[in-house]
Amino acid sequence: MSTKNASIDRLRILSVNIRSLSRHYQELLLLLSNDRNSDIDIIALSETWIKEEHVKLFPINEYRSFIQPRKDGRRAGGVILYLKEHLKIRTVEKQNLITANTIKLELQIHDTVNNKDATVTILLILYKDCKTSKKKFTEELRDIVSAAEGGNIVIIGDMNIDILDPKEAMEYLNMLQAQGFSVEHRIPTRDHSCLDHVMVRSNCIQTKVRVDEIPRITAHC
């Protein structure tokens, strides 16, 4: 994803449904060692399947980590953000919704050409349990984004809602459109369904989304 407002720095985000960080930690490090992924600024993981106290067992050099695990006793779920140390963080808010695990991050992205801070950008990563209500999830997400201050919001994660199915996704997409969001890709991410989303609300962010298969790590693209 590139962010542009005058000459704001480029920001690269890697989003992976990892289905157990402990099982695929070494494969993740190998993925990051690839030259194509050497300048990733933010790593957003869903379905991490680890407890909060265990995140220290999975460090990534030059990154800080923030975790919101699932806390209802079930293994599935949980989200983690790894952020490059140079990024300027204003706030981090972690919460478990009824339907999803979320981390909301406010970043201050620096304009290196004009030597000033850009507008705050909010990054929201989510994992929605496939068994929870789409209607309730849509309501909870609407409450978060409608209360968010600032114009730049990027939503990423595994929503377990197929936006290629108009009937299944209608209420979810209608809410996001009403809140000013655009759908940044409609590429299938598991079989023929698009379950992993990138949504943006901004008048100054330009995005470029690439969807890749990572067979050793996850069944999702």
What pLDDT digit, counting tens, does each position of 48-57 carry? 999 999 999 9
Three-state secondary structure string covering the chain: CEECCCCECECCEEEEECCCHHHHHHHHHHHHHCHHHCCCCEEEEECCCCCHHHHHHCCCCCEEEEEECCCCCCCCCCEEEEEECCCEEEEEEEEECCCEEEEEEEEEEEECCCCEEEEEEEEEEEEECCCCCHHHHHHHHHHHHHHCCCCEEEEEEECCCCCCCHHHHHHHHHHHHHCCCEECCCCCCECCECCEEEEEECCCEECCCCCCCCCCCCCCC
**Domains detected in the chain:** 2-206 (3.60.10.10)
Residue 150 has pLDDT above 90, yes or no: no
Cα separation of 203 and 29, whole Å?
Answer: 35
What pLDDT digit, counting tens, does each position of 97-117 carry? 999 999 999 998 765 555 555
Per-residue model confidence (pLDDT) at position 135? 97
Indicate the pTM of the whole model.
Answer: 0.91
What pLDDT digit, counting tens, does each position of 191-217 carry? 999 999 999 999 888 899 999 998 889
Average pLDDT of span 147-176: 94
